[in-house]
Structure 1
Amino acid sequence: MTTDTITTAAPATTPTAAPVAAPAAPSVHRRALLTWLAVYPTITTAFLLLGPHLGNLPVPLRTLVMTAFVVPVVVYALMPLLLKAETRLARRAGGRS
C-alpha cells in the first residue's frame, strides 16, 4: 500500500500599503464659520426670492417654508463645497510649513 503525501504551500503574503489617514476635521470655530458662510447668503437669497410671496403668511408658516428651502440648499449643496474647499486650503497651508 502506498501513501501519498499531501503538501500545502503557505499562502503568499502580499505587502499591504500603510493606511491613508483621513484629513483632520476642521476645528469647531472653522465649522461655525463655514456654516455661517453657507447659511447667511442662502437665507438672504431666500428672503429676496420668497419674501414678497410669503409676507401675508403667519410667522411659523413663513419660517417653515423658508427652512424647507434653506436647509437642503445648505446641507446638500453648499456645505460639501465649502468643506472640500476648506480641505484643499488646509492641505495647501500644511504643505508650506
Structure 2
Amino acid sequence: MTSSRPHATNPPAPAGPPTKHQLAVMIWLAVFPTLTVLNLALGDWLSALTPVLRTLVLVTIAVPIVIYGLMPQLHRLRVRLLTRQPADF
C-alpha cells in the first residue's frame, strides 16, 4: 500500500556544502559573538597591550573556538534546517 504522504517515503536530499553567502553569515554568527565575549572578558588585561599584540592574543583564542567549537554546530544547524520535513497541517 502506498502512502498519501510522498515525503514520508522519500528522504530529503542531502544539503550539500554551503554557498559563499551562507558561509559568510555562519562565520559572522560565530566570530562576532566570540570576539565580543573575549573583549568583555579580557578587556582590562588587553588594554595594556599594543593593538597588534592585542589582535594576536584575540585571534589565538578566537580561531580555535570558532573553527572547532562553533562552526561545526552551525553546519549541523544549517543541514537540519535545510533537510527538515515540512509540517503537516
Q: Which range, TM-score by smaller chain?
A: 0.7 to 0.9
- Matches of 1:62 and 1:82, distance apart in 2: 27
Which structure has the larger Rg? 1
Residues 37-95 of structure 1: CA distance to partner in whole angstroms, max 9, x if unpaired?
00000000010011111111111110100101110000000000000010000001xx3
Work out which of the residue numbers 11, 31, 35 in structure 2 matches 1:39.
Answer: 31
Work out which of the residue numbers 12, 16, 22 in structure 2 matches 1:24.
Answer: 16
Counterpart check, 1:69 vs 2:61: yes
Percentage of matched positions with identical amino acids: 43
Work out which of the residue numbers 49, 56, 71 in structure 2 matches 1:57.
Answer: 49
- Matches of 2:57 and 2:43, distance apart in 1: 10
> SS at the partner of 2:82?
helix
- Matches of 2:50 and 2:18, distance apart in 1: 38
Structure 1 residue ranges, 4+ long, deviating more than 6 angstroms after superposition: none
Match of 2:82 in 1: 90
TM-score (norm 2): 0.77
Which structure carries more helix by proportion?
2
The number of aligned residues is 74
Tell me, which stretches of 5 or more residues in structure 1 are unaligned?
Answer: 1-20
Tell me, which stretches of 5 or more residues in structure 2 are unaligned?
Answer: 1-12
TM-score (norm 1): 0.71
Give 1:23 deviation, angstroms.
3.4
Give 1:22 deviation, angstroms.
5.3
Amino acid in structure 1 at the alignment position of 2:62: V
